């Protein structure tokens, strides 16, 4: 792999991470911040004449923050932008022109948790924003180059489970007023939201954008469903500003909830497929139901239910030294178990495939605090949690990784007490 490593993150300046002391800054005026030229100067950061991709190595991004790198083009051309996070990180990239217009954004098209987008750009100056998914901090190598330059990310390849090859598509273009989009409803959706909302079913390759409007502020839920396509959704306002994005909210389906009402206006949903873009995806906009949303969190294992009998929980009672049981687990709907620990110590929980399973487990205390989560332990599809615990009551969610599994999972829980002299 050939590329030029142009800087290593060291200290923070003006909302941006600094590399060499002589590096110059470029205002990203409409964003209201300053970005550092990726190669130190505007002349060296011209991708049109760069011999190799320009890479800012070890860009450190704090939690709930982002960093900006600037580059330019002296001639029109196709450009690849990438962020390869260090292990444990999950990057998101956004590309802006000098006026602050969002041009393209991406989360996982670099393969794994890396980001990558390829887009045609006109001559000018650009700002590349990199942040951590869900506000998490990370360290990443960030690259800008032409398509004839070597990439630093693997990219996406192959179809669902590697069955078929599909054209590579990375990133999504912002939806503006000029973007062709399918209309959801003949007018504002306000009256429809409480009556099942509005929906449409199309392939993502055939219909990547949908537009809808609201006459008054509304809380709503936007969903894209077909795990075989693995849809990823982006929500833009009428000016093309990105409001939210989601991948894999429920298994491989995507969902965004606006619990705070969206203002009256026009909105657009952009979609892409991380697997097969030629499979039909159901896109729906419905009214947000807080009680229903809470039940769905319980069902997916993303929140622990209360132990008041209002939600089904299998009570295992006082935990013995070793407990083993088999359970038929249907798809991504979690089966919940509760157990009591009599004294402080440690527990080991294993979820092992017996038939047709890819187990995922989450451990909570009785107040709903997540203690541990695991999927794919030890290079297998089985899961394991090792956790220190105090005396008290605990809840365990056991589910399949995706709806493609519905087999039997063996759940073993072992309790260990501290040694005494």
pLDDT tens figures, 201-237 = 999 988 999 999 999 999 999 999 998 898 989 899 9
Q: β-strand 209-214 against 314-318: which pairing, if any?
A: unpaired
- At 102, list the tokens: 């969002």
Confidence of residue 284 (pLDDT cuts 50, 70, 90): very high
CB atoms closer than 10 angstroms to residue 195: 9
At 368 the pLDDT is 93
Rounded CA gap, 211 and 182, in Å? 6
Most confident of 13-17, 45-49, 236-240: 45-49
Q: What is the mean pLDDT of residues 65-72?
A: 92
- Residue 291 neighbours by CB under 8 Å, 6+ apart: none
Interatomic CA distance for residues 130 and 143, integer angstroms? 11
The answer, yes or no, to whether residue 23 has pLDDT greater than 80, is no
- Res. 7: pLDDT tops 70: no
Rounded (10°) CA dihedral 16, 19, 25, 27: -30
The whole-number average pLDDT for the span 261-273 is 93
Q: Is the pLDDT of residue 154 over 50?
A: yes
Give the strand pairing for 408-416 and 322-328.
antiparallel
CATH 2.60.120.380 domain locations along the chain? 4-146, 171-288, 301-416
Name the pLDDT band for 285 (thresholds 50, 70, 90).
Answer: very high
The fold of 301-416 is Jelly Rolls (2.60.120)
Convert the pLDDT of each residue in 69-93 to its tens digit.
999 999 999 999 999 999 989 998 9
Residues 6+ apart with CB under 8 A from 401: 251, 332, 358, 359, 360, 375, 381
pLDDT > 70? residue 293: yes
> How far is it, in rounded angstroms, from Cα 17 to Cα 10?
7
Nearest to 35 by CA among 173, 138, 129: 129
Q: Does the structure show a pLDDT above 50 at 162?
A: no
Three-state SS at 270: strand
pLDDT confidence bin for 163, thresholds 50/70/90: very low
In the DSSP assignment, the letter for residue 291 is H
Banded model confidence at residue 341, pLDDT cuts 50, 70, 90:
very high
pLDDT at 421: 62
pLDDT at 25: 59
Q: What is the mean pLDDT of residues 150-170?
A: 53
pLDDT band with cut points at 50, 70 and 90 for residue 316: very high
**325 and 253 in contact (C-beta within 8 Å)?**
no
Helices H / strands E in the chain, number of each: 2, 31
Indicate the pLDDT class of residue 244, thresholds 50, 70 and 90.
confident
pLDDT score, position 13? 25
pLDDT digits (tens, 9 = 90+) for 31-45: 556 778 999 888 999
Q: 162, 263, 172, 180: which is closest to 224 by C-alpha? A: 172
Q: Which of 25, 124, 139 is nearest to 79 (CA)?
A: 124
147-150: long-range contacts at Cβ-Cβ below 8 A with a sequence spacing of 24 or more?
A: 147/78, 147/79, 147/80, 147/118, 149/2, 149/3, 149/50, 149/52, 149/53, 149/80, 150/1, 150/2, 150/3, 150/52, 150/53
Q: For residues 351 and 399, is the Cβ–Cβ distance under 8 A?
A: no
- Determine the CATH number of domain 4-146: 2.60.120.380
Q: Which residue has the tokens 């999927």?
A: 375
* Residue 310 pLDDT exceeds 60: yes
| Cα(98)–Cα(28) distance, integer angstroms | 6
Q: Average pLDDT for residues 400-414, to the nearest whole number? A: 93
| Strand, coil or helix: 303 | coil
Yes or no: say if 319 and 413 are a contact pair by the CB < 8 Å rule: yes
Would you say domain 171-288 falls under CATH 2.60.120.380?
yes
pTM as predicted: 0.55
Q: What's the rounded Cα separation, in Å, for the pair 415 and 419? A: 13
pLDDT of amino acid 101? 77
- What proportion of the chain, given as a percentage, has pLDDT over 70? 88
Average pLDDT, the chain: 85
Residues 192-206 pLDDT 10s = 998 889 999 999 988
Give me the pLDDT at residue 77, please: 92
What share of the chain in percent tops pLDDT 90?
59
**Would you say residue 5 has pLDDT above 60?**
no
């Amino acid at each position: 792999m050939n590329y030029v490593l142009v800087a290593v993150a060291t200290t923070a300046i003006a909302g941006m991470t600094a590399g060499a002391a002589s590096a110059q800054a470029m205002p990203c005026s409409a964003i209201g911040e300053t970005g550092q030229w990726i190669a130190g100067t505007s002349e060296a950061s011209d991708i049109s004449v760069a011999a190799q991709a320009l890479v800012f190595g070890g860009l450190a991004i704090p939690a709930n923050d982002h960093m900006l790198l600037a580059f330019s083009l002296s001639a029109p051309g196709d450009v690849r932008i990438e962020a390869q996070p260090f292990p444990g990180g999950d990057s998101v990239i956004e590309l802006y022109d000098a006026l602050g217009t969002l041009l393209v954004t991406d989360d996982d098209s670099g393969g794994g948790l890396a980001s990558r987008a390829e887009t045609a750009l006109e001559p000018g100056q650009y700002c590349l924003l990199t942040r951590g998914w869900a506000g998490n901090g990370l360290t990443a190598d960030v690259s800008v180059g032409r398509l004839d330059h070597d990439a630093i990310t693997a990219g996406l390849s192959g179809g669902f489970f590697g069955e078929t090859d599909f054209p590579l598509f990375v990133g999504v273009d912002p939806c503006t007023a000029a973007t062709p989009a399918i209309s959801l409803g003949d007018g504002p959706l306000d009256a429809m939201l409480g009556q099942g909302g509005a929906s449409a079913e199309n392939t993502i390759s055939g219909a990547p954008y949908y537009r809808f409007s609201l006459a008054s502020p509304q809380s709503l839920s936007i969903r894209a469903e077909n795990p075989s396509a693995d849809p990823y959704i982006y929500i833009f306002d009428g000016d093309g500003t990105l409001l939210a994005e989601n991948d894999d909210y429920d298994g491989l389906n995507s969902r965004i909830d606006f619990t705070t009402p969206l203002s009256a206006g026009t909105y657009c949903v952009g979609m892409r497929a991380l697997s097969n873009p030629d499979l039909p995806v159901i896109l729906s906009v419905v009214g947000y139901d807080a009680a229903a949303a809470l039940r769905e969190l319980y069902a997916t294992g993303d929140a622990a239910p209360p132990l008041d009998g209002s939600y089904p929980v299998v009570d295992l009672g006082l935990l013995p030294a070793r407990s083993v049981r088999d359970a038929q687990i249907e798809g991504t709907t979690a089966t919940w178990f509760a157990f009591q620990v009599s004294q402080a110590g440690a527990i080991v929980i294993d979820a092992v495939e017996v038939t047709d399973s890819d187990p995922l487990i989450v451990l909570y205390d009785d107040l709903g605090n997540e203690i541990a989560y695991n999927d794919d332990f030890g290079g297998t599809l089985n899961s394991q949690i090792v956790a220190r615990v105090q005396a008290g009551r605990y809840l365990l969610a056991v589910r399949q990784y995706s709806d493609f599994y519905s087999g039997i999972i063996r759940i073993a829980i072992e309790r260990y007490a501290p040694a005494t002299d």
